[in-house]
Amino acid sequence: MAKAVFLDKDGTLIPDIPYNVNPALITLQPDAIEGLQRLQDEGFIFIIISNQAGVARGIFKEDALPAVEEKLAELMAVHGLQLSGFYYCPHYPEGAVEGYSYDCDCRKPKPGMILKAAQEHHIDLAASWMIGDILNDVEAGNRAGCKTVLINNGNETEWVTGAMRTPTYICSSINQAAQDILTPQMA
């Protein structure tokens, strides 16, 4: 079975530009590349797990997302990194677009996207990690059975705590997260 690093997209892997689906504006976080390379060298695969409420809100159409996935894969490939999967949730209960405006099982903090990816890619969730910049990412990872990292970059503004919302590590970047993931901690 594979081991994965599930990555939130906006604010974690790439700078957060709200509702951006323009590939020309997508860049990788500069403090992520070295860490991702180290994680890949240790056998982790990368899968993006992203809420995309802009679809349900009518801000952009779902057919804009394949170009986003393609751009992310290209940017990662420049650094020798392989993107193994791109999972997104287009739903939002308070959305305006019929067919997308409902409470689903895939929208983080629910673990649906992670569980689907794990099944499709034969991933050992107990050996895997979810890295995100808000506690909904942490909760989704914990609920799926992963270990979790919160990138504390100011994007979490609510700090609603709970049993499933406690990360394994809190870090400032993916580079630091990789260091913590790959360095055995003393008990």
Confirm whether 8 is a catalytic residue: yes
Candidates 10, 63, 103, 137; catalytic one: 10
Candidates 8, 63, 103, 180; catalytic one: 8
Instruction: Indicate left, alpha or beta for 11 from its phi (over 0: left) and psi (-120 to 50: alpha).
Output: left
Please give the torsion angle defined by the CA atoms of residues 128, 129, 135 and 139, in that order, rounded to the nearest 10 degrees: 0
Residue 129's H or E segment, with its range, is: strand 129-132
Q: How far is CA 161 from each of CA 134, 166, 184, rounded to the nearest angstrom?
A: 11, 7, 26
Confirm whether 10 is a catalytic residue: yes
Number of neighbours of residue 46 by Cβ within 10 angstroms: 22
Whether cis (ω within 30° of 0) applies to the bond prior to 93 is no
Number of neighbours of residue 13 by Cβ within 10 angstroms: 26
Residue type, 159: W
Could you give the residue numbers annotated as active site? 8, 10
